[in-house]
Amino acid sequence: MTSIHILDDITVDKIAAGEVVERPASVIKELVENSIDAHADKIEVEILAGGTSFMRVTDNGDGMDNQNARLAILRHATSKIKQVDDLMSIDTLGFRGEALPSIAAVSRFNLITRRPQDDLGTTIKLTGGHIDEIEDMGCNIGTTIKVEDLFFNVPARKKFLKTTTTEANKINDFIIKLALSKPNIAFKLINNNKIAITTPGNGSLYDAIECIYGTKVSEELLPIEAITDDIKVTGFISKPAIIRSSRSWQTFVINGRVVNSRIISKAIDNAYHSLLPKSGYPFVILNIEINKRTIDINVHPQKAEIKFEDESLLFKTIYHAVLEAVKPNDNQALSDFAIPVTDKALHIEKTVPEQINMDLSENMPSTSANSFKQNSINHISSLKNNTTPSTTDLNKFRQARETLHPNLSNHHSNTIQETAIQDYQTNTTTKPQTDINISSKENLTNCQNSTQLLKEAVNLTPIGQIDDCFIVAQGPNGGMYIIDQHAAHERILYDKFAKQTERIPVQPLLMHLFLDVNNSELTLIEENQQILYDLGFNVELAGQNQIRLKEVPADIKPQESEDIFREILISLSQLHTPTPQEIRHSCLAMTACKAAIKAGDVLNITQMKIILNELAQTTLPYTCPHGRPTIIKFSTYDLEKMFKRVQ
């Protein structure tokens, strides 16, 4: 049996260094957090070769005197805590008491520091943990630490480092997150003698985001704010125009510390739900203030994760905060939701995105209770029997036209808009049972109502269709907007369905449908029969592996009901342990998709206007329930640039 012995100091230091110093980014993390704890408001980081050959962190913080500088390089020495009880109420970012000696043990280390009240500062040089020099010297107020030749004496660790570009990117990502968590500190990162990051340090989170990510990101942000008795949440989340394929640019800050949290990520996903295309994640920066006694930051060696006393409370607070942020407010117009043309490629998905759990029964606005699609098709047929509108109605419409379309020529305006009002009168006189409604209480049965609708939807002016699929409109301040008529109507119908707190309106089938199903489908139907019933599908067992479909939602065609029901079963079979809300969302999204107007359906100007008006009144007009964009914007500058009118 081998004997037990005490390890020498060199071995102990290298073992400790292995726990603290994983890569150059680990060194930068420890040093920058120390600078923040020293109350610095300017921090400069400089690296060469991804930090493997040279790292320097300079701050204007409190600094140290000679005695404290000597103690700082010793193991288990710290100014952050004094006793074990202090671990539960830490205000600082670091406290390990091992960072500096561990870093010095595997590098060539140089510490220069001075307090404001001292005339001279102190410099300490170490090589592989051995002190080479300690002396007084003149220097700036604050602390500067240089780390060179990282892992020079631990070649086994050095060979496992990634490329210098990868290591530099790790440092870059860390500085970005830290700069977002501390907008009151001016950060500067210099990589290979080039400035990579700089922030103003003026306390404005929005300005910090703009400096780091640019105006294209900052202009697409929505503010988040929620305050309860125990938790305060502030920050920003991006519109669907700005998404990425990973969570790398989602930053969560709890009591000033950047952390990772599955609970927070899940709350954001649930609130954002169908705005996300498959594998897409929005830009998020959340600053969360919570009682220090209700969290434990010691569950992770690098303090990257936190344990919460009440996870459900945090989840609900963030969920509702994000949900309120992405909902349009009363001051927003439809043009505010358009995706800039330069970013539209970020949203193109060829597959149906996975859906995320969300309770869809709350806070949904009222929309039409009648089928818009069927109305549209019936209305197109009615154009063959147009009648001439009254002079009074035309005069009213011309007055509205002058307000809505001051820039259009009289001839062009008369041709389009007067034809539209004729369409409306024909539809309301020849086929009243298929009138196009904007709500269950507002029937467009005459020209006066249609004029009022146009006034309400003045934000965008429809011009026509492209390929009977896309609506083209002009914005209030110029520019061109292209709306996917199917995606837009899908969002409208989805919101109408989702607002139903009880059963969705149904239509009994004159001839019941008998469908053959396999055992797995039959199990799905039995497990979710009540949910399917609430969604408008009245199903009952009709024999062995056979069901009877008696009622379907009022907004779908009876001849399409079997296909829709079978697709819903396929969707349910692909969900893993779904919740009732997830099943509801999947079914509603499928039903809305099948009931919406399709590519190839011809619309007149008034029908286009109704779609735009109702889309503006939905809760999430940015995308359809599957995550595809509903509206894309070409600004006047974009158009001028395409035709090379501007550079």
Q: Look at residues 166, 198, 230 and tell me which one is the last residue of a structural domain.
A: 198
Confidence category of residue 357, pLDDT binned at 50, 70, 90: very low
More confident residue, 310 or 276: 310
pLDDT at 13: 61
Residue 443 predicted with pLDDT over 80: no
More confident residue, 234 or 406: 234
Query: Do 190 and 76 have their domain in common?
Result: yes
User: Which range has the worst mean pLDDT, 19-23, 87-91, 617-621?
Assistant: 87-91
Token reading at 511:
């001839």
Residue 413 predicted with pLDDT over 50: no
Cβ atoms of 258 and 277 within 8 Å: the answer is no
Query: Do 288 and 191 have their domain in common?
Result: no
pLDDT at 257: 86
Residue 460 lies in a domain: yes
Nearest to 39 by CA among 56, 63, 15, 8: 63
Residue 359 lies in a domain: no
Query: Do 138 and 172 have their domain in common?
Result: yes
**Model pLDDT for residues 113-134, shown as the tens digit of each residue:** 999 999 999 999 999 889 999 9
Residue 207 lies in a domain: no
> Looking at this protein, which amino acid is placed at residue 180?
L
pLDDT at 531: 78
pTM (2 d.p.): 0.57
Domain count, the chain: 4
Q: Phi then psi for 330, rounded to 5 degrees? A: -65, -20
Range of the domain at 251: 214-326
Nearest to 198 by CA among 212, 185, 184, 210: 212
Residue 60 predicted with pLDDT over 90: yes
Pairwise CA distance, residues 278 & 268, whole Å? 15
pLDDT at 145: 95
Residue 209 lies in a domain: no
Residue 124 lies in a domain: yes
Pairwise CA distance, residues 150 & 109, whole Å? 9
Average pLDDT, the chain: 75
pLDDT at 136: 93
Residue 581 lies in a domain: yes
Query: Do 626 and 548 have their domain in common?
Result: no
Query: Do 584 and 603 have their domain in common?
Result: no
Token reading at 353:
């995105």
More confident residue, 85 or 424: 85
Query: Do 15 and 90 have their domain in common?
Result: yes
Cβ atoms of 179 and 185 within 8 Å: the answer is yes
Query: Do 180 and 274 have their domain in common?
Result: no
Count of other CB atoms within 10 angstroms of residue 529 = 16
Query: Do 457 and 523 have their domain in common?
Result: no
Residue 332 lies in a domain: no
pLDDT at 645: 84
What integer is the mean pLDDT of 74-81? 64
- β partners of residue 46: 56, 190
More confident residue, 101 or 620: 101
Confidence category of residue 91, pLDDT binned at 50, 70, 90: low
Contacts of 578 (CB under 8 A, 6+ apart): 357, 572, 586
Question: 133-171 burial, b if ≥16 CB within 10 A, otherwise e?
Answer: eeeeeebebbbbbbbbbbbebbeebeeebeebeebbebb
Query: Do 618 and 638 have their domain in common?
Result: yes
What integer is the mean pLDDT of 202-228? 90
Nearest to 461 by CA among 338, 606, 330: 606
What integer is the mean pLDDT of 214-236? 89
**Model pLDDT for residues 581-632, shown as the tens digit of each residue:** 666 777 777 778 877 888 888 888 888 888 888 888 887 787 888 778 888 8
**Model pLDDT for residues 29-41, shown as the tens digit of each residue:** 989 988 998 899 9
Nearest to 504 by CA among 541, 531, 466: 531
410: domain CATH number is 3.30.1540.20
Which stretch, 66-70, 112-116, 158-162, 509-513, has highest mean pLDDT? 112-116
Token reading at 568:
């819903």
Note the Cα 101 to chain centre separation in Å: 41
More confident residue, 421 or 45: 45
Pairwise CA distance, residues 264 & 357, whole Å? 14
Contacts of 121 (CB under 8 A, 6+ apart): 63, 112, 113, 114, 136, 137, 138, 139, 140
Residue 320 predicted with pLDDT over 70: yes
307: domain CATH number is 3.30.230.10
Residue 353 lies in a domain: no
Judged by phi (left if over 0) then psi (alpha if -120 to 50, else beta), residue 280 lies in: beta
What integer is the mean pLDDT of 521-528? 82
Residue 71 predicted with pLDDT over 60: yes
Residue 252 predicted with pLDDT over 90: yes
Which residue's structure tokens are 């830009």? 283
Query: Do 181 and 237 have their domain in common?
Result: no
Query: Do 176 and 37 have their domain in common?
Result: yes
Confidence category of residue 456, pLDDT binned at 50, 70, 90: very low
Confidence category of residue 214, pLDDT binned at 50, 70, 90: confident
Query: Do 560 and 635 have their domain in common?
Result: no
Confidence category of residue 457, pLDDT binned at 50, 70, 90: very low
